[in-house]
Amino acid sequence: MEVQIKPLLKLSAIDAPPKFLQSLQDAGKFVKKLRESDPDIANSAANRSGTEEEHRALQAGLLYLALTEPDRRRSYCTDIVLTSRDNLTYALSEMTRLVAETWPKMPQSVRTNLLSLLGELIVARASVEVLILHICRRMSSKLYSQY
């Protein structure tokens, strides 16, 4: 049985999803399946001894799930920070790409989760300046109060 995950974007029947979105969804499924067998992601074999590709899939999957599952967002954010080998560069670049390329198609719940995740990364002292710049460019001034 295939692992089910929530969609990240609201796409119409004629919208083509961005190419990188499929890899994020696959990574989300990978992490969800991994959590079923090993709930401690930071100490999992995929994190400790996995290849660079597996590690990136782990980071991307945790990001995808943090954006689509608000009740577990804090846990996923902690796992993102604990599993990062590159000072969160990969996770932040994926978040920046999501904001730059898909912000208008994100449901409000995903946007809210992204901003909450951003706040948690600020607390973790991540270098989020570029991400904040992209978010400010995408948000219209009247929308700031909604978040």
Structure token digits, residue 44: 């999992």
The answer, yes or no, to whether residue 144 has pLDDT greater than 70, is: no
Q: How big is the chain, counted in residues?
A: 147
Per-residue pLDDT tens over the stretch 14-55: 888 888 899 999 999 999 999 988 888 888 888 888 888 989
Please give the C-alpha separations between residue 7 and each of 94, 108, 125, 134, in angstroms, as whole numbers: 16, 13, 29, 22
pTM, to two decimals: 0.87
Domain layout of the chain by residue ranges: 19-146
Q: Please compute the mean of the pLDDT values over residues 121-144 and round it to a whole number.
A: 83
Under 8 Å between Cβ of 59 and 69: no
Q: Please compute the mean of the pLDDT values over residues 107-134 and round it to a whole number.
A: 92
Per-residue pLDDT tens over the stretch 55-92: 999 999 999 999 999 899 999 999 999 999 888 999 99
Q: What is the mean pLDDT of the chain?
A: 87
